[in-house]
Amino acid sequence: MSTAPTFDRTRVVIEHVRPQIDGGRFPIKRTAGEPVGVEADVFADGHSLLAGVLRYRRTSGASPSAWEEVALRFLDNDRWTAQFTPQEAGDYEYTLEAWIDAFGSWRAGVAKWLEADQVSEGELLEGARLIAAAAERATAQHASADARWLSDQAAALAAPGALNARAQLGLADGLREMMSRYPDRSNAARYDRVLEVLVDRERARFGTWYEMFPRSNSPEPGRSATFREAESRLPAIAALGFDVLYLPPVHPIGKTARKGPNNSETSGPDDPGSPWAIGSPEGGHKAIEPGLGTLGDFDRFVEVARREGLEIALDIAFQCSPDHPYVVEHPEWFRSRPDGSIKYAENPPKKYQDIFPLDFDTPDWQALWLELRSVVLFWIDHGVRIFRVDNPHTKPFRFWEWLIRTVRAQCPEAIFLAEAFTRPKVMKHLAKLGFTQSYTYFTWRNQKVELEEYFTELTTTEMREYFRPNLFANTPDILHEYLQRGGRAAFQVRTVLAATLGATYGIYSGFELCENKAVAPGSEEYLDSEKYQYLRRNWDAPGHINDLIRRVNAIRRDEPALQYDTTLSFARTDNPQLLAYTKTLDGRGVLVIVNLDPRNVQHGWVTVPVAELALDGGRPYELEDLLDGTRYTWQGDRAYVRFNPAERVAHVLKPVTQ
């Protein structure tokens, strides 16, 4: 007894599709207006020609849009490509379809027979049949004019007459174009996965962040500034060229186990405590710390910032002080010890007695998830679209995937930054799950080989498809030894690196004043950190680097190549203290050369990537240092540079002809 075949009759194979993350389990990322280039191996048995399309559509919204198609283009060695450009933020999907190009194969064969002067009647009749079938497909698609035209071509090809002349009719470009509109896709092969693209607004790809504690802007010592008083700081931050203002938690701060200055376990009556110890009788994650004002004052602060060109990013820290209303209302959301007390947060040897972690293993997990999502949606209703998420790696991955997807479904403009200084695979997985941006190891990469290796990974491997780095030069928790010991020049070096290596970077307030005192030797914590006390600053103190920050931020706005991460390419130098790289886009870009040694004069030779910069190395060319306007005339692909950190730490060079 024989068994009939059950496979379909498709002959085309589609495999090795790129980009895709983990076999299509996770989406790639783009911003609106940023192309999605797709490649795949497409082949079949025999020698027939192939054709195919890249299919894509927007899936977010009330219902998916209709599929759109872009023809695949042959590269080489059975590799094909096409691209599409999503124009709006939202969710998209794409896949590939390919088929035997019967008419194209016939046409190629006829061209060879014609060249050999051996065209046959049967060959022409076969072509006429293919054209007539296309006419029927045009009729089915209600393209009657095209159908009539194709029928006429089929008749002309089949009509008696000179074989070579009729063959020429079948090779006409107009016929080829018309036939491509109505291919026979009855046995087309479709890639067995539909792949996703998360498309965000431009701020997800390019932005300049400034972290500020509003309470530290009081005109009087010893008390919190209100939001209205903190408004006075906004014009100066905007004037430095920042466009995102990140606020630590602004919620009521608990009093139980409140931390004192320098994270001491005892606090005085006037110590404000850590903003990350969220919750008091005045409210929790949906309330405002009374010292800052009211929710109305926050709304006004958001609007005043917007008028200054600043978008507010708000800290989301899903943890509670012992005084948080959740502790009384939902004790089941916390992990208890055998004696019934709630376990506070620990990261041995560190203890956080002022913080209770939430228990995501609670049997009431669904209610907990819904409540935490409502926190995000609450602040979206108050004008916040950017969230810096505190320690997401200490909460379940599935929770974040669900929260981000469901929030984006309601607010495609939402941006989530993962503050996860943890193991590489965990950081990558969080990005795959949907976090828009990610903190990085940039703070701890200070040597040339470290920087080249790390940023090569970020920009040339699969990470470029889903991991958007946000290069914070410092944070309230991280004052690297490089800054502690390198003096003012170290802050200048890290400014240039962060601002030009990454499309998104940020600084924590005080960086511009070169604050570099640690609480103890070997610690990365600041002395007298404003995490635990009010801090008043003289923003015009001698030694500030405001002019440099203002200038590099202006350069970033003017140079499109600096607004992408993947435009980066490193150049060779003969000195391990000199780092050189280009960022180019559409034939326009800059060459950055940085002295990584903040204490000593360094000099050496740089291999200038003249081709990337569209320069003619065979004749003199002129470059302008965008940092100060100095112009240099070089020739060839090698140039000598010298840096005295007391005078200059870097060049940001642009060809004068661009």
Catalytic residues, by residue number, are 390, 419
Rounded to whole angstroms, the Cα distance separating 39 from 62 reads 30
Give SS3 for 428.
helix
Rounded to whole angstroms, the Cα distance separating 433 from 463 reads 13
What contacts 493, CB < 8 A, 6 or more positions away? 486, 594, 595, 596, 598, 645, 649, 650
Return the sign of the alpha-carbon dihedral for residues 125, 131, 136, 137. Answer: positive
Backbone angles phi, psi at 639, to 5 degrees: -140, 145
Give residue 499's Cα distance to chain centre: 15
CB atoms within 10 A of CB 580: 25
Rounded to whole angstroms, the Cα distance separating 164 from 111 reads 10
Regarding beta strands 36-44 and 12-18, do their DSSP bridges make them parallel or antiparallel, or are they unpaired? Answer: antiparallel
Angle at 259 between CA 522 and CA 214, to 5 degrees: 90
Three-state SS for 247-302 is ECCCCCECCCCCCEHHHECCCCCCCCCCCCCECECCECCCCCCHHHCCHHHHHHHH
Rounded to whole angstroms, the Cα distance separating 111 from 167 reads 8
Rounded to whole angstroms, the Cα distance separating 653 from 91 reads 38
Rounded to whole angstroms, the Cα distance separating 379 from 526 reads 30
Q: Residue 28 pairs with which residues in a beta bridge?
A: 197
| 489, 497 contact by CB (below 8 A) | no
| 301, 294 contact by CB (below 8 A) | no
Return the beta strands (E) in 501-562 as ranges.
504-508
